[in-house]
Amino acid sequence: MLLTAYADTDAAIDAINVVDLDHYLLKPWEPPEEKLYPVVDDLLATWRTTEGREAGITKVVGHRWSAQSSQTREFLARNQVPYRWYSSDEPEGRRLLSAAGQDGMRLPLVITTDGAALVEPQEQELATRVGLSTTPASDFYDLVIVGGGPAGLGAAVYGASEGLRTVLVERSATGGQAGQSSRIENYLGFPDGVSGAQLTERARRQAAKFGAELLTTRQVTALEVNGAARTLRFPDGSAISAHCVILATGVSYRQLDVPGAAELTGRGLYYGSALTEVSACQGQDVYIVGGANSAGQAAMFLSRGARTVTLLVRGSSLSASMSHYLLERVEEAPTISVRTGTVVAAVHGKEHLEGLTLHDTVSGETEQVDAQLMFVFIGAAPMTDWLEGTVSRDSHGFIPTGPDLTADGRPPAGWPLDRPPYHLETDVPGVFVAGDARSESAKRVASAVGEGAMAVMLAHRYLEQS
């Protein structure tokens, strides 16, 4: 935290951009009960849950170019689980492997705070052993939210705060794509920006404070309608039911479908920001594929330590896909260059990423470049396949709701109620959609949070009329 005078806010802005300052306070701070104490309390509470824990920390032994090691580090980081990383090549890493009776052929090795050694753990096992909640406390709720991004967390906060028995089910880590963002600068109420991890952690603590259950590493495989109940099924055969369901499954980054990409994912090629790999970018030439805000924020963040950052953009310019404020910063950054009309045609490397084949869509020419690190942000696909046969989806997999389901004001075919679907309601009564998975959604953090809150309001209306 930085204390500064009202007339010297430039110092605070520089500190935010250069050293990732968490907060600044302006003098005077009268009254302290409003302007000082709550701010300090909130920052200390966040610090206690994330940093400064010297005892009982989880240890991870892995290799830089191990895809599963990378996934494990990212999983722990996104779930705010403190851990310490050891390379299998360094003395302490070898000592830990030896103590666990491992030869380093199977990585990662995770040593939990209670001393248990987990070799190549799956996410659900890892989540359980590090203290994350994976099992629902009940088999029936007022409201089940599927997906823990901004829309899902927003719905959890409003649902639980308004007295609904609420459970949020997340397949990996709360935050969604927004949780991986290095900085979100156009979200209302955060004029200096906030990292996706910080925003996610605050929302998660807020939902828990109101009594919402948060389950991680639980993949939902089916939705069933059983009379007034809406039932969600898990791969192990278990299920939970509720009066209402909010689908906030969000979207996932599209995979780069070129030769070599699948084999090198997690070994130099990463989807999303993969902030655990930031230290590896120091002094390196980094490539980022994509031209939207997420790609621009990643470029700005990585440019602090990378030698160069190159944005590879399929389109003819960034103006059509990137916010104006961010576009200006990218263009002004001395270490960032933008190559428009360029796509990745192939990815090369044996044990890790070593090079790229770039294709110029205008001239048709190809070029080979050396590369060890590439981050991919090439659009998004909705995670809605599991709804096939129950909830209608459009040709791209997004879910239409409310007015988009009706024709000339008439309800969709098979709609069982006298009223038309509510604004965020699907063609299954009591099942709502919020956030990026909804057809024609705005694809912004603020709108996703707003839709989460609105979906809860509509769920209340549905329950009152049922």
DSSP sequence for 116-174: -EEES--HHHHHHHTT---S-S-SEEEEEEE--SHHHHHHHHHHHHTT--EEEE-SS-T
pLDDT beyond 60 at 53: no
Which tens digit of pLDDT belongs to each residue from 207-236?
999 999 999 999 999 999 999 999 999 999
Nearest to 23 by CA among 296, 303, 329, 9: 9
How confident is the model at residue 247, as a pLDDT? 98
Which has more confidence, 171 or 24? 171
Banded model confidence at residue 35, pLDDT cuts 50, 70, 90: confident
Tell me which CATH homologous superfamily contains domain 58-122.
Glutaredoxin (3.40.30.10)
Does the pLDDT of residue 51 top 80, yes or no? Answer: no
Query: One fold for both 140-252+381-465 and 261-378?
Result: yes
Q: Report the range of poorest mean pLDDT among 13-17, 242-246, 278-282.
A: 13-17
DSSP secondary structure letter of residue 420: P
pLDDT of 348 strictly over 80: yes
Chain segment 319-336, per-residue pLDDT in tens: 989 999 999 999 999 999
**pLDDT band at residue 116, thresholds of 50, 70 and 90?**
very high
Residue 206 has pLDDT above 80, yes or no: yes
Q: What pLDDT is recorded for position 17? A: 64
pTM for this prediction: 0.87
Alpha helices in 139-195 (DSSP H): 150-161
Please report the pLDDT score of residue 181 as a whole number: 86
Parallel/antiparallel/unpaired status of strands 251-253 and 380-382: antiparallel
Residues of the chain above pLDDT 90, percent = 74
Domain boundaries, the chain: 2-50, 58-122, 140-252+381-465, 261-378
Mean pLDDT of 247-260: 94
Q: What pLDDT was estimated at residue 76?
A: 94
DSSP-assigned letters across all residues of 239-306: EEEEEEEEE---EEEPP--STTHHHHBTTTEEES--GGGGGGGTT-EEEEE--SHHHHHHHHHHTTTS
* Architecture category of domain 261-378 in CATH: 3-Layer(bba) Sandwich (3.50)
Q: H or E stretch including 389?
A: none
Predicted local distance difference test score (pLDDT) of residue 90: 95
Q: What is the pLDDT of residues 389-443, one digit of tens each?
A: 999 999 999 999 999 998 777 888 899 999 999 999 999 999 999 999 999 999 8
Tokens of 159: 């649902």
pLDDT given at position 446: 95
Q: Which of 19-23, 279-283, 288-292 is modeled with the greatest confidence?
A: 288-292
Quick check: 343 pLDDT over 70? yes
- Output the pLDDT for position 12: 74
Confidence of residue 278 (pLDDT cuts 50, 70, 90): confident
CATH number of 140-252+381-465: 1.20.140.10, 3.40.640.10, 1.20.120.330, 3.50.50.60?
3.50.50.60
Task: Give the model confidence (pLDDT) of 295-319 as tens digits.
Answer: 999 999 999 899 999 999 999 999 9
